[in-house]
Structure 1
């Protein structure tokens, strides 16, 4: 199973990963973000595709599910009841409401639609974001 790994020491806060997400998903809001930590280091924040994902456990409609083949947490917008329980349950604050539709969830999809995989990884100029087998 592959997961995004972040080396905070390499991140310069350029927001290329955020821009890559916007372009890859053709949307007005990114599925990731970069914050400045209390020790003044840039910290990219991504969905961790948790082993025991709280977003999946709290989803009453079955819109969030753990894909046993890829290990990713998949989101099915057609099943979503817009209750936002997944947003409230995520301990990392990576899920958010899609402001364009006001009823869907914005969640990292690992750019499964892109032949080169996650574009945040592909476009990071500092190689601070990598995709690694775990």
Structure 2
């Protein structure tokens, strides 16, 4: 099972990962972002595909669910009731509504549509974003 790992000390705030996310998902909004923390350092924010995801626990319809095979938290827009409970429940503030499709949730899908994996990992010029194998 692979997860995105972020080395904040390497991040220069170039937004290449944000642009890569937009391009990979053919969207106008990214599913990740970069903020500046209290020490004025860049802090990339990505879905952590939590072991015990609050977004899944609060989802009334099952639109947010944990894939037991991959360990990824997945989103099915066809099942979504647009209640935004998942957005409110995420302790990391990662989830948001799509600015164009107001009834859809923007969530990292680890670029499962790409054979090469997450584009943000591939394109990060500082190698601040890597893919790491983790044990279940």
TM-score (norm 1): 0.99
Residue 99 (structure 1) shift: 1.2
Stretches of structure 2 lacking an aligned partner (at least 5 in a row): none
Please name the residue that 1:130 is paired with: 130
Stretches of structure 1 lacking an aligned partner (at least 5 in a row): none
1:1-134 paired onto structure 2 within 5 Å: 1-134=1-134
Please report the RMSD computed on the Cα atoms of aligned residues, expressed in angstroms.
0.5
Residue 115 (structure 1) shift: 1.2
Residue 40 (structure 1) shift: 1.1
Aligned length: 134
Question: What secondary structure sits across from 2:56 in the alignment?
Answer: helix
TM-score (norm 2): 0.97
1:47-96 deviation line (CA, Å, top 9, x unaligned): 00000000000000000000011110000000000000000000000000
Question: What secondary structure sits across from 1:12 in the alignment?
Answer: coil
Q: Runs ≥4 in structure 1, deviation > 2 angstroms?
A: none
